[in-house]
């Protein structure tokens, strides 16, 4: 089963966010900054955004973003 077939959600820890914005540069459809801190446009990651969502999360120097599979 491919990772695209599994639903994924994104979780952001705003208290850990320092507003670097690398996530926004990589996947602006999902990640945005508001008041200098991360906000998510949605919790569940559309399959077509998954690769960039993971890349954006991994780019965070504070590890404030996690993309995880949703348990069935």
Domain count, the chain: 1
- Identify the three-state secondary structure at position 4: helix
pLDDT at 32 (0 to 100): 97
- Residue 72: which pLDDT band, with cuts at 50, 70 and 90? low
Asked if 45 contacts 53 with a C-beta cutoff of 8 angstroms, the reply is: yes
Q: Tens digit of pLDDT for each residue in 1-15?
A: 454 478 999 999 999
Structure-token pair, residue 56: 């954006």
- For residue 71, pLDDT over 50 is answered with yes
For the chain, percent of residues with pLDDT exceeding 70: 93
**Which residue range is the domain that position 16 belongs to?**
3-69
What's 63's domain CATH number? 3.30.70.20
Asked if 42 contacts 12 with a C-beta cutoff of 8 angstroms, the reply is: no
Q: Tens digit of pLDDT for each residue in 22-39?
A: 999 999 999 999 999 999
């Amino acid at each position: 089963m491919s990772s695209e077939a599994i639903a994924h959600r994104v979780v952001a820890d705003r208290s850990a966010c320092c507003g670097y914005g690398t996530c926004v540069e990589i996947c602006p459809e999902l990640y945005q900054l508001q008041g200098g801190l991360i906000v998510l446009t949605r919790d569940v990651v559309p399959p077509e955004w998954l690769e960039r969502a993971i890349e954006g999360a991994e780019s965070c120097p504070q590890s404030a973003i996690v993309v995880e599979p949703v348990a069935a």
